[in-house]
Chains A and B, each alone.
Chain A
Amino acid sequence: MSTATIADTPVELNDEGFFVNPEQWTESMADELARREGIDELTSAHWTVIRFMRSEYFDKGTGPTVRVLGKSSGISVKELYQLFPKGPAKVAARIAGIPKPRGCI
C-alpha cells in the first residue's frame, strides 16, 4: 500500500494501483488517473464505463468483469477493448477509483 497524490489530493493505492478507499475518489481525478494508464483523453464513452463501474461497485460490492460490462453497460466488449486496450475491467477500475473487480474462482 502506498500514498499517491492525484489532482493535488493524497489517496491510498494498493500494490496493483487500485484505490483502497473508493470514497477518496472524485471526478476531477479521472483525467490524471487515465493518463497514468496511457489514455490521453477521456471521451463520453469512457465516462459511461467509469460511472457504470462505480455504480456497480457501490451496488454489489465488486466492480463488473469485462463480460458483465459488455452485457450491461451498453458498450460491446469489442468497443471496451478499443477504449481501454490494456484490459477494460482492470484499467477502468483503476480510473474509476474502485478495487480490482473480484473475478471468479
Chain B
Amino acid sequence: MSQRVIVLGGGTGGTLVANRLRRIFDAEELEILVVDQDDRHVYQPGLLFVPFGLSHTDDIVRPRSQQLSHDIGFVEAAVDGVDIQANSVNLVDGRTLDYDVLVVASGAVLLPEETQGLTGPGWMERVFTFYSPEGAAALEGALAKFDGGRLVVNVVDMPIKCPVAPLEFYFLADWYFRERGIRDRVSLTYVTPLDAAFTKPIASRQLGGMREEKDIELVTEFNTGEVDGEGGRLVAYDGREVPFDLGVVVPLHGGAEYIGRSPGLGDALNFVPTDEHTLQSRTAPNIFVIGDAANVPASKAGSVTHFEGETVVANIRHFLADEPLVDNFDGHANCFIETGFGKALLIDFNYDTEPLPGHFPGRVGLPLLKESRLNHLGKLMLQWFYWHSLLPGRDIPGMGSAMPTAGKPRELIRK
C-alpha cells in the first residue's frame, strides 16, 4: 500500500528533500506532498546584494512549484497546526492531510514586532532590515540617498539565519561608500549581542583584523531592548545607547508560528527539538526536521540544509523500512563571506571543528579563511548551483555531505 510523506515548507530544505525522495521512491510506493503558503521561492543569499544595487528582487525569486520534479504534489496553503497524535496536518483553509512521515522544513520567521519600537515610527524610513525582500529593496533606496552620517548594523539576538550575513553587509557597505567616494563621511558600527563579531575563535580573529582595517567599529554584548527609529537610537537592556542616522537591524528569529499551535512539537522559540545526528525530531519518531526549523547547534544556513538532506532522506527510507537510523550528520557548514572589492572568504566547519585555514575541499582548492577573487566567484556561482543542483537534490561533484578534512591542518581537526 502506498504511504504518504508530507513536507511542510517548500523552501531550500523542503524542495531538496522532496526531490531526493522522489528519486528513490516510485510514485506507487510513496506519495509526496509539499505544502507552502505561497508560490514564491526566494534565493535568500541574494538578499545581501539587493541593498547595494548588485542584485534585484526579481532576479532571485522563482515559482516554488517549478522547482519540484513531476509526481510531487504541491499544496499552496498555510499550515495551521500539526496533530502529532493523529498524524495529521491542519491547513488554514480547513483541509486536513494525513501523513505516515512528516518533514518539518518551515524555516525561521522574522519577528521584528517582538523588539520594542522596531516596527514603530521610522521603520522602513530610517530603520530597515535586508532579511526580507521588501526590506532589502527599501534599503536600496535609502542607501542611495544616504550621503553621510552614522550607519549602524545591529543583530538583536541569536539565532539568526546566516550569522555571517551582517558581517558581509558591513564589508559591502564599506566598499559601497568608497566606490561612491564618501567613505570619509560615513561611520560604520556593528552592534552585536555576542562577545565578538563571530562565535568561533580562529575565524573571529581573522575577521576582526579585516574589520579594523576597514575602520568598522564594534560594540559587543549589546542586548537590544528598544529601537527608537524616530530618535535614531538603539537602547540596550543594560541602559547603553548607540545613536544612528541609518539603522540596519536583523530582527529576532523564531520558528514558524504554527509550531507554537501544535502541542508538543516545538520549543519556547518554536524551533523543533531534533537529534543533531539523525535529524529525527525528539517529539515523534515519524517526524524529521531539516534546515532552519531544527534547534540543532549548527548555523541556520542553506549549506547546512543542503548537507542535512542526505541524512534526512536516508533516515526516512530507513524509518519506512523499519530499519535502524543512521546518525551521520556532522553539522557541516560551508559559507562564503563577501568582503567587498570583488573578494570573498570561505569558511568550512562542523559541530566539532571550528573554521580553519587551509584549502577546500582538498589540498588543492579554494583558499579557506583568506580573501580571494576565486571565493567571490564561488559566491556568485552559488545562485546557479542553488537552482540547478542543490534544489533538484543532486550532489555537487567532488563534494560529499560530511566536512572534508584533507586540506586542513590535521592537529586542529577534532573528532
Q: What is A's interface to B at a CB cutoff of 8 Å? A: 64-68, 71-72, 77-78, 80-81, 85-87, 102-105
Which has the most chain B C-beta neighbours within 10 Å: A71, A85, A87, A104? Answer: A104
Q: What is B's interface to A at a CB cutoff of 8 Å? A: 157-159, 163, 194, 199-200, 221, 223, 225, 237-238, 252, 267-269, 297-299
Q: Which of A72, A77, A102 contacts B237 (CB 8 A)?
A: A77
Q: List the A residue with the shortest CB-CB distance to B298.
A: A105
**7 interchain pairs, CB-CB under 8 A:** A64-B268, A68-B267, A68-B269, A72-B268, A77-B223, A81-B237, A105-B158
Q: With both chains docked as a complex, state the minimum distance between the C-beta of A53 and any C-beta of chain B, in angstroms.
A: 14
Q: With both chains docked as a complex, state the minimum distance between the C-beta of B274 and any C-beta of chain A, in angstroms.
A: 13
Q: Are A103 and B199 in contact (CB under 8 A)?
A: yes
- 19 other A-B residue contacts (CB within 8 Å) besides A85-B238, A105-B163, A105-B297: A65-B158, A66-B223, A67-B252, A68-B267, A68-B269, A71-B268, A77-B237, A80-B237, A81-B223, A81-B237, A87-B223, A87-B238, A102-B297, A104-B159, A104-B297, A105-B158, A105-B159, A105-B199, A105-B299
Residues of chain B within 8 A of A65, CB atoms compared: 157-158
Residues of chain B within 8 A of A103, CB atoms compared: 158, 194, 199
Residues of chain A within 8 A of B268, CB atoms compared: 64, 68, 71-72
Residues of chain B within 8 A of A105, CB atoms compared: 158-159, 163, 199-200, 297-299
Which has the most chain B C-beta neighbours within 10 Å: A67, A77, A103? Answer: A67
Residues of chain B within 8 A of A86, CB atoms compared: 238
Q: List the A residue with the shortest CB-CB distance to B116.
A: A78
Residues of chain B within 8 A of A81, CB atoms compared: 223, 225, 237-238
Residues of chain A within 8 A of B223, CB atoms compared: 66, 77, 81, 87
Q: With both chains docked as a complex, state the minimum distance between the C-beta of B265 and any C-beta of chain A, in angstroms.
A: 16
Q: How far is the CA of A85 from the CA of B225 in the complex (A)?
A: 13
- Given A78-B237, A81-B238, A85-B238, does the pair A67, B157 have CB atoms closer than 8 Å? yes
Q: With both chains docked as a complex, state the minimum distance between the C-beta of A30 and any C-beta of chain B, in angstroms.
A: 23
- Given A67-B269, A68-B268, does the pair A77, B225 have CB atoms closer than 8 Å? yes
